[in-house]
A and B are shown apart, each in its own frame.
Chain A
Amino acid sequence: MNGSVLQQILLHSVGAFGGTLGYAILLNAPMNTVLPASLTGLLGYVIYEIMINLLGQGVVFSYFLATVIVTMICEMAARVMRMPSTIFLLTALVPLVPGYTFYCAMLAIVEHNGAAFASYGLEAVQIVAAIAVGAAVTSVLFRMLAGRKRRKT
């Protein structure tokens, strides 16, 4: 049982890595940022899977925590590589976008299943809100702290 969960996480992390890599190239990301951003995307998804499958946390909180960690890594990478953090965030957050829930909501409409649509739709909205707020708050706090440090020196 535990072995199959680990195997699933491994398989999904390959998917998250490849998906982020392709997306980074679609956005014409600078070559030296593609690999760090993809690895961050992979890490974010692994954190989410661990939270959900091994620690038994709720969906929204798992997404939130994964987003916060991904955003922190992206902001740090942006400062190390002297690039806008947007470049890293754009790609690294992509595996966390709730495409599955979004699609299930769509499918429910096609099947005239109002109850399923409401439940999936609400979940998608909650996840998007968790990601948006998590990323925004983290990066705003990060900027405030970094700005203060620069002013002191």
Chain B
Amino acid sequence: MQILHEHPAQSHADQKIRLICMAAQMMLENGGETYRVEETAMRMAIGLGLDDVNVVAFPTSIFVNVDGRSRIRRITHRGTNSSRLAGVNDVSRRVERGELTPDEAERALDAIAADPGFSQLMLILAYGVSAASFSLLFGGTFGSLLVALVVGMLAQLIQPFFAHMAMGTLLFNFCGGFMTALLCRATSNVIAYGDVNAAIIGGIMPMLTGLLMTTAVRDTMYGDLISGIARAVEALLLAGCVALGVFVGLKVVVMLGGMPL
């Protein structure tokens, strides 16, 4: 009798831990800060009626322990997807208020993970508009606006090739910076369209994620020292890759005998 009753209870507990892990992993993979991930996991644990829960999150891994049962998840891919962040946040709050059963919550999380978001065409357009607008912001002429629009669209066009690669973001930043600098300068050698620098800056602005440094400082202030340092290093590395790409791009044009800078 005892054994028969234990089995479903144990699978329920397993499902609850799996839910917490899923939510925490999705938040970390899509740009959630460490403290927010831990908070979300704790909130879900309260809603699922678990006590004695410990959650430790790093930018690269999560550890969840419930009543001596523990799960570890490795975070290999880190990007930013605001819709998923909002979705997981919403699910965790509904679980906390007891509006969702574990089964419903799992289905909701699966649905969020399966949502592809905007189409690639839309993203290409968005990158182009963003790059053109930023080149206007940095004093670009109408010509550099157009060049930034086209180069930005090309940068987003090559982005899917790096999406599932190890170190994909670093490589994309390098290649994007390289391509932007090369094309903007090369075009100006063919047609003098105005401010070359504004076009290049417009093209690289969407790659320079400003929030990473802020997240790093905020994590450090909350006492997550390791996460803070890890994120600061990540921010420096990403910016460094863009810089290196732009540098190589400009150098190549100079070496190929383009106009002196």
A residues in contact (CB < 8 Å) with B:
11-12, 14-30, 33, 45, 82-84, 86-87, 89-91, 93-97, 99-100, 102-107, 109-111, 128, 131-133, 135-137, 139-140
Contact = CB atoms under 8 A, between A and B. Distances in A.
A67 to B, nearest CB: 9
A95 B208 CA distance: 11
Contacts of A12: 136-137
Contacts of B82: 24, 27-30, 33, 86-87, 90-91
Looking at A22, A33, A102, the one whose CB has the most chain B CB atoms below 10 A away is A22
Does more than half of chain A's interface fall in helix, strand or loop, or is it mixed? Answer: helix
Contacts of B117: 28
Contact of B217 (A17, A84, A102, A136): A136
Interface in B196-223: 197, 200-202, 204-206, 208-211, 213-214, 216-218, 221-222
A25 B218 CA distance: 25
Contact of A18 (B133, B200, B208): B133
Interface of B: 31-33, 36, 80-86, 89-90, 93, 117-118, 122-123, 125-138, 156, 197, 200-202, 204-206, 208-211, 213-214, 216-218, 221-222, 239, 243, 246-247, 250-251, 254, 261
Contact of A86 (B36, B127, B130, B132): B36
Given A110-B251, A140-B221, A26 B126 contact: yes
B44 to A, nearest CB: 15
B83 A110 contact: no
Contact of A23 (B206, B214, B250): B206
Given A18-B136, A135-B217, 15 more contacts: A22-B125, A23-B130, A25-B118, A28-B118, A30-B82, A30-B83, A33-B82, A83-B89, A89-B214, A94-B205, A103-B246, A110-B250, A128-B210, A132-B214, A136-B217
A18 B137 CA distance: 9
Contacts of B93: 82
A99 B202 CA distance: 8
